Amino acid sequence: MNGWILLPVFLPVIAGIFLLLMLSCERRRLHQAAGTVLVISALLALLAAWTGEKSVTLFYLMKDIPVYFHIDGISRIFVTFTSIVWVCVGIYAFVYMEHEGAEKRFFGFYLMVYGVLVALEFSGNLVTMYFFYELMTLTSAPMVLHNGSREAIMAALKYLFYSLCGAYMGLFGIYFLYQNCDTLTFTPGGTLNPALAQDHRTILLIAVFAMLVGFGAKAGMLPLHAWLPAAHPVAPSPASAVFSGIVVKAGVLAAIRTVYYVVGPDFIRGTWVQTAWMVLALVTVFMGSMMAYREPVFKKRLAYSTVSQISYILFGLSLLTPMGMTGALLHTVFHAFIKSALFLTAGVFIFECGKARVSELTGIGKRMPKTIWCYTFASLALIGIPPACGFVSKWYLAEGALHADVGIFGWLGPVVLLVSALLTAGYLLPVTMKGFFPGKGNGENSGMKKASVEISGVQNGITDDRDTGKKEPSLMMLIPLGILASLTIILGVLPNPLIHYISQLVSGLM
């Protein structure tokens, strides 16, 4: 019986609801309960994913449309990095959320979102995926508005507006695919009925493009990207970490399922849809990097960076070639660890020092060298400097573009990726350089001003009491950060097992 694969879905969701309904709970017991449920759920999800292909039908929405779960290669990849990041960030949050308050509410939704994400990644057809895609938006929005400030409420509303508008564009496309596909069940190579697809080619291309733009809203692709830089500065840093590392990947997963498992890559190859998709992805890559380079608020800088980096993945998918998709899936995994580590670093700066702006971080490496080294490893990976993992995925993306039959994009894509990498170095490495080498007249205690921006519940007017002496964060914050930062190097030095697995998976889709 395969019904047990739903345990990692229902266990965290039910536990999260229970936490939300509890009137009160001692902080230590809250952490024990949330941590236990989170770890058990993650282990169950990994066990379900890696012990053979399984399928289960929960119920039927209509006669021929079930809420259906099926585990395949894509499910395994996504649920694995989701579980690793979610557990690491959850442990980190046990300390960080102390100064945010309302921990019971945060961990209640944190558990619920994990369960919904597992359901999304285990979805076996387009309708099931859409159902949990929408549910993920609704359950994750409270994590954005956690501190209750006006800025947080407005950011959460923007997140809801952009995500729901994008999802409705996806629903528009699903309606037409339902009319022209033999089934909406995910099948490698696609399920379009050849005769119907030929008769309704124009409207189907419009529908597919609407789905790509709509699901691209969650992934931060132009023109529906503005929620990311609005949400990250006001959300608690653990929420920012999982939003940037995991939640945005829901848009990537939806694009993969739509193009490679329902429509089929051959249907859009060489059409205006592929061209428009590549244009939007490359413009987003460049625009996101440029905005990050100019942004003085650290978490907002990282948010714009996410806008850029996720479109690396979308560009690789839009090439519709095995090498391009291999690079996209590699970058999907690597980016989850990289960006989560970077946002956890930002959280350390806020929690320990009250620093929200890049200009306030001068000399900070003298006080917390371990944290800055973790940040540096993740930064090198995001830039794409070997032996960090980002070099491997960007190599495949560039090679995929050069060998793809996509005209001008064959060389324009690598050029944009290279320019973006240079800009990435320009907005990440100065934190390391000035952190360790503040320069003459900039000692480790200089520039340590009061935090000028209220971010993640940090109160204005923080004094310099936390800014004197060498002080790393507690081990419960440092160890998860160290694990994620280490993975960015380990996966760069030993990438072959993952490359082999993804290459085999991709070969079955083309």
Torsion, Cα of 339, 345, 349, 355 (10° steps): -20
pLDDT tens-digit readout, 182-238: 889 999 988 998 888 888 899 999 999 999 999 999 998 988 888 989 988 888 999
Distance CA 355, CA 455 (A): 9
Q: Quick one: angle between helices 369-383 and 409-436, nearest 10? A: 170
Instruction: Identify the band that residue 53 occupies on the pLDDT scale cut at 50, 70 and 90.
Output: low
Structure tokens at 240: 């920012």
400 exposure class (CB count in 10 Å sphere: 0-12, 13-18, 19+): buried
pLDDT at 500 (0 to 100)? 95
Q: Which residues share a beta bridge with 123?
A: 69
Helix (H, G, I), strand (E, B) or coil at 222: coil
Token digits for 505?
């998976």
Residue 454 pLDDT > 60: no
Q: Three-class SS of residue 164? A: helix
Identify the band that residue 441 occupies on the pLDDT scale cut at 50, 70 and 90. low
Render the burial of 190-218: b for 16+ CB within 10 Å, e for the rest.
bbbeeeebeebeeebbebbbbbbbbbbbb
The rounded distance, in Å, linking the Cα atoms of 465 and 461 is 11
* Coil, strand or helix at 460: coil
Question: What pLDDT is recorded for position 447?
Answer: 40
Q: Which residues contact 442 (CB under 8 A, 6 or more apart)?
A: 362, 363, 434
Range in 83-97, 350-364, 372-386, 407-421 the model is least confident about: 350-364
- pLDDT attached to residue 440: 62
pLDDT given for residue 469 in this prediction: 53
Crossing angle of helices 150-180 and 126-144, rounded to 10°? 180
- Which amino acid, residue 26? E
Q: Tell me how far apart the alpha carbons of residues 90 and 476 are, in angstroms, rounded to a whole number.
A: 10
